[in-house]
Amino acid sequence: MRQGYMLAIRTSVGVDVSGVGGHGIEQKTYALKSTTKLFKDLNLLAKDAAFHNATTVYPVTDTDDFYRLHAYFSKHHLEVIQHFSNNLEMKSYRIANGTISNNILEIRWPLGVPLPSTPETRHDILTWRLLNRSHIFLPNDANNIEPLNSIETLDLDKVLELTKQYAKHKYPTLQYMGIHTIYRRFDATRGMDYHIHLNFRETGKFAALTQSETLTKSFQVIKPLGRVEVVPSPYVTESTRIAILVPTFEHQVEYALDFIRHYESTCMRNQDNTFLLMIFMYRFDSISKGDADPFRDIKTLALDLSAKYKADGSRIAWVSIRLRATLSDSVPDDHVMLNSIYGHNEILSIAVADLALPKIGLESLVLMASNCISFKPDFLNRVRMNTIQGFQIYSPIGFMLYPCRLANFCKDCESCDVSQGTGYFDKWNYDIISFYSRDYVQARKQVETSLPIMRMDTDIERLFNRADKSINNILDMFVSSKLSVHILRGVEPNLRYGGGIRHFVDKHRRESGNSLTLPKCLAETFAISDSNSNIDWVSVGFLKSYFSLYSPLNDTDIFVTLLRLLHNKIPIKDDCSSD
């Protein structure tokens, strides 16, 4: 720019600017004719070498012309740089010529894109995933096949279209016939790599020789990571008060008592800035006062702890909800194996939130919890940092811990390491979610026409007659509302599930000594095959009998095997059956 100003000054004082400029650098200028109109004559000027080599162009009297020249020369210089880079790349390949190791030359394809990351252990290997136009195969450890979502489908269509255009340019005599196979792999340091194998048929002068054989050509495609952008977010602190809402059904009283004791040791004793609100789900005909109250023990413990920690400002309160008659049937013990504490009625989580939130106010940070969980203080801090009013809600994926004593890992404890052998991250459990009350209210108003708002217990009937059956929990409701908030969902090792299963095991051991009665539900789509049997489905009782015949497994091994089967999302039928 400084040389341009020098050139302009020399021109104004009559100095010849076509020769050598300042510091011995040759500088040239290009004079536009008075009849030149850049908006229509720029393509003609582009053919003039003097125009390309000019340092300055004059006269430029119009602002639009200035921007046209700037855009043109920016594009021209970019093309020159790309051409230079391509030549440099070809020179690198010619220098190597297969005689020098690429580990020394470090020639990357494409230039400027990092090489694939090197795995430190076998667990860090990034595997290639097979896919077609509609599905991806073995996408993770839990699923064999998943449909591509709309974004993935659009991305694959674009990649295939560009690949076919490249193939048509490189192999003009080949006719595209279809897809052979497609693989893809995502590397967080590099981007998305594709290996695409396409089928072609020869149509040129060698078509008669190939006798219309199908030719398969392989292509490697990469979508490098774009420019990293930091998304600004509002400022949050770890001092925000959390209102923890814990719904409890009558058959979960023991779970809730254990949860409150855990809450006392984790939060109340350490003066954590939290508030616990228990939501009691009464059956249609249950008594809610006196000694016959099924939640009497919980209320007594809540009052005792509130009085004990009154000076610290910690307290435990409760809200009662009366269920309709059809939801008041006794719950089979086998339902402890289901992901949600609501069983098959996850929609009740929305009823709980609708009826309980008016008790705590619009500005509260709410954590919808479960009575079958345990957690560490670090988890609550992450809830505070990851839940941002008007910006983000947080849905953690907790770790389902196998019963330690039953599985012979260790004694019953909360310090078991998170590993493949001790449990699994239950991504199908959506009970735990945190949000601000105001965000919830705004989202509920967006879906009120298809999902009526609950204002009293008797409205729950309307919830089961809702028009939109795709909404089954609070997370679904936020997604359907299209509220302009982010949804953060990630694994949380300090949030543990499994309390209900431990109670199930302890209860049956007390009732039947040390022997364990396994859940007796039918499991669909589970097959056992060997030389003697071919079974399309199996009951848990039959599973026990089968393993006793063909494998030296005890009750503990069978129970842990059952839990791992459930980890792989084997559906459980509603109608339980004995073996």
pLDDT at 578: 35
User: E strands within 104-230?
Assistant: 129-131, 135-137, 145-147, 174-187, 191-202, 214-224
Higher pLDDT, 515 or 383: 383
Residues 6+ apart with CB under 8 A from 149: none
pTM of the full structure:
0.67
Give yes or no: residues 194 and 267 share one domain: no
pLDDT at 412: 59
Give yes or no: residues 523 and 469 share one domain: no
- Please give the Cα distance from 400 to 397 (Å, whole number): 9
The answer to whether residue 102 is domain-embedded is no
The residue among 490, 485, 478, 274 whose CA lies nearest residue 388 is 485
Instruction: Tell me how many domains the chain contains.
Output: 4
pLDDT at 519: 54
The answer to whether residue 17 is domain-embedded is yes
- Average pLDDT over all residues of the chain: 80
3-state secondary structure of 493: strand
- Please give the Cα distance from 33 to 54 (Å, whole number): 15
Cα–Cα distances in Å, from 450 out to 354, 463, 468, 470, 475? Answer: 15, 9, 5, 10, 16
Cα–Cα distances in Å, from 265 out to 52, 117, 280, 376? Answer: 76, 43, 22, 10
pLDDT-derived band at 573, boundaries 50, 70, 90: very low
- Please give the Cα distance from 168 to 204 (Å, whole number): 13
- Among the residue ranges 311-320, 442-451, 459-468, the one predicted with the least confidence is 459-468
Chosen domain end from 68, 83, 98 = 83
The answer to whether residue 512 is domain-embedded is no
Higher pLDDT, 551 or 394: 394
- Torsion angle of the four alpha carbons 266, 271, 273, 277, in this order, in degrees rounded to the nearest 10: 60
Judged against a pLDDT cut of 50, whether residue 554 lies above it is answered with: no
Judged against a pLDDT cut of 90, whether residue 512 lies above it is answered with: no
What number is the average pLDDT over the span 22-50?
A: 75
DSSP state letters, 216-231: EEEEEEEEE-----PP
- Please give the Cα distance from 419 to 390 (Å, whole number): 35
pLDDT at 547: 42
pLDDT-derived band at 318, boundaries 50, 70, 90: very high
Which CATH number fits the domain that encloses residue 468?
Answer: 3.90.550.10
pLDDT in tens, 388-436: 999 999 999 999 888 776 666 666 566 677 877 788 899 889 999 999 9
Q: What residues make up the domain containing 530?
A: 518-579
Give yes or no: residues 144 and 213 share one domain: yes
pLDDT-derived band at 513, boundaries 50, 70, 90: low
pLDDT at 122: 83
pLDDT at 520: 46
What number is the average pLDDT over the span 109-133?
A: 86
The answer to whether residue 315 is domain-embedded is yes
Chosen domain end from 442, 471, 502 = 502
Chosen domain end from 168, 193, 224 = 224
Q: What is the enclosing helix (H) or strand (E) of 352? A: helix 348-356
pLDDT at 332: 77
Percent of the chain residues topping a pLDDT of 70: 78
pLDDT at 20: 47
Q: Long-range contacts of range 142-148, CB-CB < 8 Å, 24 or more positions apart?
A: 142/427, 142/567, 142/568, 142/569, 143/569
The residue among 278, 289, 269 whose CA lies nearest residue 246 is 278
Give yes or no: residues 263 and 368 share one domain: yes
Give yes or no: residues 542 and 577 share one domain: yes
Helix, strand and coil content of the chain, in percent to the nearest 5, comes to 40, 20, 40
Judged against a pLDDT cut of 70, whether residue 246 lies above it is answered with: yes
Judged against a pLDDT cut of 50, whether residue 292 lies above it is answered with: yes
Structure tokens that stand for 99 in this block: 């005689």
- Please give the Cα distance from 447 to 440 (Å, whole number): 11
Give yes or no: residues 384 and 352 share one domain: yes
Give yes or no: residues 295 and 397 share one domain: yes
- Please give the Cα distance from 171 to 179 (Å, whole number): 16
Give yes or no: residues 395 and 265 share one domain: yes
- Please give the Cα distance from 547 to 307 (Å, whole number): 53
pLDDT at 64: 84
